[in-house]
Structure 1
Amino acid sequence: MTAELFWDKRLDVLYGYWLEKKGGRAAPTRADFNPAEIKPFLPIVNFLDVQWEPPGFRHRLVGTEIVEHLGRDATGRWVDADLYGQSAGRIFESLLQVAHEARPYRRRSPMNWHPRSWLTMESIELPLVDESGRVNMILRGVSYSSPKNPPPDHYLVAPLPSH
């Protein structure tokens, strides 16, 4: 079990599950995840496909709790300015970092790109690899809150230990 890192403890549990599934490898594969085992987390889960040439990220699956908080379903849509406005570049670059490094990251940021800008988003971004070891998907666990002490108007993107 991992130490508590997140406001939403479901993200801690999802991180522990990812660590368990990866074992001694750099990251687990999508096939390592049994939907029945992560059923309690599906409402906060977002799977993103990773495209390498040219680099891009497409939302494959967006959990119901995410859709409810955002008021939209991004399934099938690309991470771009049409979806994320002025924050698209920062979001894209941080996902690219997860993909290039094949390591988990934690993100905490204000939702200044969304009409509900008073919300703070907290996520864990977990790489998944193909058989060759290249990142082909990112599993995100996402939670929204309006904390009493919100983070400043910048992104916290921090690598997490992968052991």
Structure 2
Amino acid sequence: MFIYPVELSDLKHDVHRNLFQYWNKIRGNRSMPSRKDFEPTEVPNVLKHILMVNVEQATGRYLIRLLGSETVQALGADPTGQYVDSIPVISRVVERCNWIVENKIPYYYQGNVEWSEKNFLEYRSITFPFSDDGETVDIIMAAMVYLFPEST
């Protein structure tokens, strides 16, 4: 399921609601906030869920800048510092990166993990654009929530 534009009522998880409200707060009356507006201590409950990707304007590539421990656990690896399109199991994410760079608005996604041998996992993601100049998306931030099976 791919939802845009996103409304607070679309979001069922506290991590997503908190980050959505915070993104809107720091955005103010601009179309997108800048990365420098984001203060991690304001939303500490979301940090292990965060994915940050640098948008390289010259190449059109997406560099994984930061990956929270929840996604590292789901993926079974930490691809921080790698380009999204160089990691075969997550290369589909390029399409969503392209979408947010073009549309410049948040979106919500819900589905099964297709990029891990843990493809039985479901996840939910909210993704936001950030821009230093207010026009060009230079950072993409997502909050990923995984529905891990209960331990017995």
TM-score range, shorter chain: 0.7 to 0.9
Indicate whether 1:51 and 2:56 are aligned: yes
User: What pairs up with 1:112-151 in 2 under 5 angstroms?
Assistant: 112-131=114-133, 133-145=135-147
Which fold has the larger relative contact order, with Cα–Cα distance below 8 Å and residues 6 or more apart in sequence?
2
Provide runs of 4+ in structure 1 moved above 3 Å.
none
User: Percent same amino acid at aligned positions?
Assistant: 27
User: What pairs up with 1:19-38 in 2 under 5 angstroms?
Assistant: 19-38=24-43
| SS at 1:140 equivalent | strand
Report which stretch shifted further, 61-70 or 11-20.
61-70
Indicate whether 1:16 and 2:18 are aligned: no
Give yes or no for contact 1:128–1:139 (8 Å, CA) kept in 2.
yes
Give TM-score, length-normalised by structure 2.
Answer: 0.85
Q: Distance in 1 between matches of 2:111 and 2:82?
A: 21
The amino acid across from 1:101 in the alignment is N
Give yes or no for contact 1:118–1:146 (8 Å, CA) kept in 2.
no
Give TM-score, length-normalised by structure 1.
Answer: 0.80
Q: Identify unmatched segments of 5+ residues in structure 2.
A: 1-6
Compared CA separation, residues 9 and 84, structure 1 to 2 (3 A): farther
The amino acid across from 1:73 in the alignment is D
Aligned partner (choices 42, 47, 61) of residue 42 of structure 1:
47
Deviation at 1:45, TM superposition (A): 0.6
Give yes or no for contact 2:30–2:134 (8 Å, CA) kept in 1.
no
